Structure 1
């Protein structure tokens, strides 16, 4: 249905669906980045955790009974609801098991508003410059469970070094390389902050022009 609205009237789609996301996203980045005017790992990290919750759990590979997706979600929520009280506000969308020289991990991706992810995914499919894929890079060995989210980010101001480490963990497990591009339905993406500023300005100009036209036609 969103695809239909996009094809019928892209400008209206941007005003109704994209503009509110951009305002929320830009406010989030500018509130928690020490200097939004400079390109930094802080900004890149905020681009990735916006509307998301990542959980990384070191594991030992075992062959056992596989639970269905809903049962896995229920079990994960029960496991982490004390350490992550806001997890019930999120929906599990992806489970990945990865293995590298740094060990095996179970990786869980939750999103707060599925509508936002649907809209960004649509823009990605249309090759909109606002949304970019996440590139792969090597991470680090994780010794204990770690969760990353935008609620958590609101309580801490990360340095560039801390942001770089967390970025590497997300990119190793959810990024894509040029050699092994993931399908659109599996690849993860981010809003580009610089492009978001430009896109928001264009929408606002269009809104003002529409209002001016309405006034002149009265």
Structure 2
């Protein structure tokens, strides 16, 4: 359905769907206290985290899902419930999140939760349309990730108290477990992606200019 709106009226799509999204994203980055022009590493970390929680758990939650489509949705919801119960003590409002991705075994597992699935659908559409507003996040196949227990949440904005080295390690871990491989076909539509902060600034100004022009046209016709 989003594709239909995008193709029929791009300006209306931008106004209704994209503008509120990038406005929320820019406010999120600005609220962190990070200087985007200087602190590039922390900016990249925030871009990847927006609307998401990434969990690496050495205790493990099996990611096995029955391929039978009739049972798949039921089992996926069961995985959600299991994750919520296990991490409710660490993430106070985890019940407001939906499971987007999980892989692993009873030994170790990695999962990605999202606050608003609507945001993820919009980002996926924009990356399929090859919008400069959204960029793919890749893993580095030449480096092996360090298996550690950690939770990286977009709601934790106490980022200025974290060293650059720690942010580098967190970003590397997320990319390693959740990022897309460079050589995978159609990777842009399926893999991890993020809003480009500087492109968002420019796009927001462009949309606001277009909305202003439309309003002027309406008043001039009266």
Query: Which category describes the TM-score, using the shorter chain as reference length?
Result: 0.7 to 0.9
The aligned counterpart of 1:9 is: 9
SS of the residue 2:146 aligns to: coil
The aligned counterpart of 2:210 is: 206
- CA RMSD, Structure 1 to Structure 2 (Å): 2.5
The aligned counterpart of 2:87 is: 80
Once residues 128 and 65 of structure 2 are traced to their aligned partners in structure 1, the CA distance between those partners, rounded to angstroms, is: 36
- The runs of 5 or more residues in structure 1 that have no matched partner are 99-103
The aligned counterpart of 1:108 is: 111
SS of the residue 1:17 aligns to: helix
The alignment's TM-score, normalised by the length of structure 1, stands at 0.87
Once residues 53 and 104 of structure 2 are traced to their aligned partners in structure 1, the CA distance between those partners, rounded to angstroms, is: 16
Once residues 152 and 207 of structure 2 are traced to their aligned partners in structure 1, the CA distance between those partners, rounded to angstroms, is: 31
Q: Does 1:23 align with 2:23?
A: yes
> Post-superposition shift, 1:16?
0.6
SS of the residue 1:84 aligns to: coil
Aligned pair in 2 of structure 1 residues 60, 73: CA closer, same or farther (>3 Å)? closer
Q: Could you give the per-residue CA deviations for residues 32-52 of structure 1, whole angstroms, max 9, x where no partner exists?
A: 143122361100000011000
Q: Could you give the per-residue CA deviations for residues 10-34 of structure 1, whole angstroms, max 9, x where no partner exists?
A: 0110001000011110011112143
The aligned counterpart of 1:95 is: 102
Once residues 129 and 141 of structure 1 are traced to their aligned partners in structure 2, the CA distance between those partners, rounded to angstroms, is: 31
Kept in 1, the 8 Å contact 2:5–2:13? The answer is yes
> Post-superposition shift, 1:72?
1.2
Once residues 149 and 50 of structure 1 are traced to their aligned partners in structure 2, the CA distance between those partners, rounded to angstroms, is: 8
> Post-superposition shift, 1:97?
2.5
Kept in 2, the 8 Å contact 1:136–1:172? The answer is yes
Question: What is the number of equivalent residue pairs in this alignment?
Answer: 211
Once residues 130 and 33 of structure 2 are traced to their aligned partners in structure 1, the CA distance between those partners, rounded to angstroms, is: 27
